[in-house]
Amino acid sequence: MRHGKKLNPLGRKSAHRKAMMANMASSLIEHKHINTTLAKAKALRGYIEPIITKAKDDSTHSRRTVFKYLQSKYAVTELFREIGPKISDRPGGYTRIIKLGHRLGDAAEMAMIELVDYNEIYESGNSKKKTTRRSRRGSGAATAAPKVDIAETVEPIEEVKEKAENKSEENKSE
């Protein structure tokens, strides 16, 4: 039985799991979003949220504490220099998990985990202009378009026939 076991072991020993979480957290900080399985994304969310909370206070102690978890100088610098000031007013919920469907090879459920304040992909899809629906009767766009007299734009059939006959006569004479 698994009474009281809140940690998802992800099918790995503890040292492998800690190293994997540190690598995934560093990648998330550096790239602002990563694609992974849903189970790993949920485990990563629980791992990285407290780390990001520590980045609000830029002190030597908090930097050393975060480095203990991430093991990457570049990720720690990025976290405290860019992400920390940007999330300073947010009370929590720094990450978002978006389900992507199933992986082709083994049908594992895939997800994208991203930092909420750096959501270029998610917002680019929502920033499109909302178009109004048009009815089939043409009440909206058809009335707004300028009216053009068809007689001015279309040549009479007789003139078109004469031009065609003149061209055919020129081709025969050549």
Contact 144, 128 (CB under 8 A): no
Q: Which residues pair with 35 in a beta bridge?
A: 112
Over the Cα atoms of the chain, what is R_g? 31
Q: Is residue 92 part of a domain?
A: yes
Q: Is residue 141 part of a domain?
A: no
* Sheet of 95-102, strands arranged across: 33-37, 109-115, 95-102
Q: Is residue 42 part of a domain?
A: yes
End-to-end CA distance of the chain: 98
Q: Is the pTM of this model over 0.75?
A: no
pLDDT tens, position by position, for the chain (174 residues)? Answer: 889 988 899 999 999 999 999 999 999 999 999 999 999 999 999 999 999 999 999 999 999 999 999 999 999 999 999 999 999 999 999 999 999 999 999 999 999 999 998 876 556 555 555 566 666 776 555 555 566 555 555 556 777 677 777 776 776 666
| One-letter amino acid for residue 146 of the chain | P
Q: Is residue 128 part of a domain?
A: no
Q: Which domain holds residue 167?
A: 148-173
CATH of the domain at 31: 3.90.1030.10
- 156 and 88 in a common domain: no
